[in-house]
Structures are given as C-alpha cells and as structure tokens.
Amino acid sequence: MTKDEFETMLVHGAFEIDQNKGALTMPIYQTVTYRQAQLGVEQQFDYSRAGNPTRLILERQIALLEEGCFGYAFASGMAAITAVFFLFEKGDEILIPCDLYGGSIRLLDSYFKKFGFDWRVVDTTDPAELEADFSEKTKAVLLETPTNPTLQVSDIAAVAQIAHRHNALVIADNTFLSPYYQRPLALGADIVVHSATKYLGGHNDVLAGLVALRDADIAERISMIQKSSGGVLGPFDSYLLLRGIKTLAVRMDRETENATAIARWLEGRPGVDKVFYPGLESSRGYAIQAKQASGAGGLLSFELSEGYSLPVFFAAMRIITLAESLGSVESMACHPATMSHASISPEMRAKMGITDRLIRLAIGLESLASLKEDIERAFAAARAAGENVS
C-alpha cells in the first residue's frame, strides 16, 4: 500500500455512511443487546461482547491499515496481548527480547508461566544468534521494534524467516511506530498487537488494544478467545479510537519531525552522555530501521550527565509533563528506572541499558521552539542545582 493510499484509508477506510440517517462519522451503538427478528435465525449482532457495530468498523479499520485480513479490539493493550497468549498451551514457550514492555513480561512470568506457558529472553536484534535459541517447545517470538526506552531495532523479516523455519509464529507489538510507519504483517510477522492507547488513539483519552492478522484459522481462535474472555473495547472507546486514527499520519509526521530535531540537537550537547533514537544515523539499528519503517516515531531517550540534577531537570519543565505513557499530542517525560521499568530488578535494568540517568521523552505536537526552550530551561536549572550539590 502506498503512502497516499494509506493516508486516504485513515480517513475513509472501513467507514461506511450510516444507512439509517446518512451520518458521516460512525455512530456510537451504545447497546448491549439487539432485537432478534425471528426465533432461531442467526443475525450479525446479538450481544455486544460477541460483536458491536462501532467496534466492528474499528476492527475492520485496523485490519486494513495493518494490511491484514482480520482485526480485533480489546479494552487495553494488555487485554489484546493476553488474548494472543491464550493461543498457546502447556509446554509451549515464547521467545522475547530483554527490553520487552514490562507489563508483557509480568503477564508471562506471574500468570501464563504457572499454566505451563514459559518464556525465555533472547537477543532479537541479532538474527545470526537467534537461530540457536529455538527449541522443540518454541512456538512464538514476540518482537517489539523499536523497544522502549532504549529503542533497539530488530529485523522483522529476518526474524520471521528464522521463526517460520522452526514452525513458530512471530508476534509484533507495533505500538511505537503504528501501521503508518511500519507494517509487520507485510514483512512476514503473523500477528500484530497494539497498545492503541498510544499513537493510534493519540489524545491520552482512551485505553485500548488491537490485534491484526491474516491467517483465518488463528483469526477464528482469537475471535473465540475475545468472546470467551470478554475484554472487549466498549462502543464509545471504539468511536474515540476511530476518531483518533483519522489524524494518525499528520500527528505522527509532526511528532517525528519534532523528535528528530530534538534528538539531533541533544546529540553532543553538554549535559547529555548518550542519545537513543532510531532516526539518528549514529544509532545501532539505523540501517534496519530505515529498511523496514518509513519513520522513526516520536519517542527518544537520553542519559543526563553527572553534575546535572535529575529531579530538578524534571521539575523545571513547564510544557513537557512528567507522566507515564506516550504517543499523545502532549509531550511527556518519564524516568524509566523509577516509573515504567521500576518493577524490573536493577541487574536486569543494567542489562537492558536502563541507567538511573536515563530520561525518556515522548514528543507531542507543541512547537519545536517551545519544546527546545522547555528542555533548555531544564538543563540550565539541573546544571545550577547539580553545581550546588557538588
């Protein structure tokens, strides 16, 4: 699908003009149940856990955007990932990168493991090494590319080739780039999952998860898991997500433009030891990122130098807000060691490259000048406070 086709699909895609009243936006079918026309005759909608017209358009939309054939909407990214993990059985194993989203690791380790579905950490950024990691038990690889917060890049096509040789599925968490910049199914992945709470929703006002895939058998199983486990997205949240998706391209382009300029400006700047951003030519995964994605996204991280007070840095910003999450119109800053990755042991964090001086910025739609001014203010205040301490 070309960029032009994709951008038009964001606005029109699965939307249908309401047959009853001619409404251009998808109406919110805020209903649990549906009048059944005749006893014993099946109809498209009978109960909203199984299907809802607003949710259905969203599910068709994510299938189209991810170049898949089937889509499913859930109450959160974690509910979507849980549904995908339900595909596996006792004795199966999944391979994951060490810096996979912490919530996904917790779900595997605290819950699925006790039912006999095990997990193992591997280096998904190195396909040459990955081949040896597969065992008889390995039924899937879960990729996140780029990862959070150090933005490591894995070659989706190369991983898919290896996994398929071992009859294992590739599940790609495409939260950070969205289908606008990266379409894992077209690169060989089998299942895409999203925390649609982030870029797809884009406005910090809806928590949602999506699944997209091509295989009809797996789709039927996910559909049954969705109906059975019940973590579905409500009609109003489905509407909010449909609305957010329409502006995905313009939001992501602006956020990426801002993030690229900020990453370049931070690189080599006093007060910064290291910058992580897959759009920087100096980043380790740059070539693969450029090959498989058409943009680097709005997320970047950097290490604040010693001599700059970390608490003061966060406190001095007036536009960029200290908050969890990313992918919204508002810029947000996070301290991974004490926030998003606090539940991970310091040893594991060190392995993942998450130092105590790492700051993650999720860049939004504010003007570049005001964002730079805000960060500059934080550096100045942190430097002054750091000097006073030493």
Ligand X SMILES: Cc1ncc(COP(=O)(O)O)c(C=O)c1O
Catalytically annotated residues: 49, 101, 173, 198
In whole angstroms, how close is the CB of 128 to ligand X at the nearest point? Answer: 25
Q: What is the DSSP string of 122-142?
A: E-TT-HHHHGGG--TTEEEEE
Closest to ligand X by CB, 349 vs 383, is 349
Residue 323's Cβ-count burial label (10 Å; 0-12, 13-18, 19+) is middle
Q: What is the DSSP string of 316-339?
A: H-SSSEE-S--SSSS-EEE-TTTT
Q: And the tokens for 281? A: 């030519």
What's the CA gap between 245 and 258, in Å, rounded? 20
Q: Which residues inside 77-96 make contact with ligand X, applying CB under 6 A?
A: 77-78
Answer for the pair 75, 52: CB distance below 8 angstroms, yes or no: no
Applying CB under 6 A, which of residues 13, 149, 209, 271 lies at the interface with ligand X?
A: 209
* Residue 101 within binding range of ligand X, rule CB under 6 A: yes
CA proximity to 73, closest of 87, 53, 88? 53
* Residue 278 within binding range of ligand X, rule CB under 6 A: no
Q: Which among 76-84, 216-224, 287-295, 365-373 is the span making contact with ligand X, rule CB under 6 A?
A: 76-84
What's the CA gap between 377 and 320, in Å, rounded? 11
- Count the site residues for ligand X by CB under 6 A: 13
Q: Which residues inside 111-130 make contact with ligand X, applying CB under 6 A?
A: none
* Residue 76 within binding range of ligand X, rule CB under 6 A: yes
Q: Which among 2-10, 72-80, 85-93, 177-185 is the span making contact with ligand X, rule CB under 6 A?
A: 72-80
In whole angstroms, how close is the CB of 257 to ligand X at the nearest point? Answer: 22
CA proximity to 26, closest of 73, 79, 66? 73
In whole angstroms, how close is the CB of 207 to ligand X at the nearest point? Answer: 5
Q: Which residues inside 173-192 make contact with ligand X, applying CB under 6 A?
A: 173, 175
Closest to ligand X by CB, 61 vs 175, is 175
In whole angstroms, how close is the CB of 86 to ligand X at the nearest point? Answer: 16
In whole angstroms, how close is the CB of 175 to ligand X at the nearest point? Answer: 4
* Residue 134 within binding range of ligand X, rule CB under 6 A: no
Applying CB under 6 A, which of residues 206, 207, 296, 371 lies at the interface with ligand X?
A: 207
* Residue 144 within binding range of ligand X, rule CB under 6 A: yes
In whole angstroms, how close is the CB of 146 to ligand X at the nearest point? Answer: 10
Distances (CA, A) of 90 to 114, 117, 295: 9, 5, 39
* Residue 97 within binding range of ligand X, rule CB under 6 A: no
Applying CB under 6 A, which of residues 82, 197, 258, 301 lies at the interface with ligand X?
A: 197
Answer for the pair 255, 364: CB distance below 8 angstroms, yes or no: yes
Residue 298's Cβ-count burial label (10 Å; 0-12, 13-18, 19+) is buried
In whole angstroms, how close is the CB of 26 to ligand X at the nearest point? Answer: 21
Please name the amino acid found at residue 335: H
What's the CA gap between 389 and 387, in Å, rounded? 5
* Residue 231 within binding range of ligand X, rule CB under 6 A: no
Question: What is the torsional sign of CA 305, 97, 194, 49?
Answer: negative
Instruction: Please name the residues in contact with 13: beta carbons below 8 A apart, sequence gap of 6 or more.
Output: 60, 61, 64, 65
Closest to ligand X by CB, 143 vs 169, is 143
Binding site for ligand X (CB under 6 A): 76-78, 101, 103, 144, 148, 173, 175, 195, 197, 207, 209
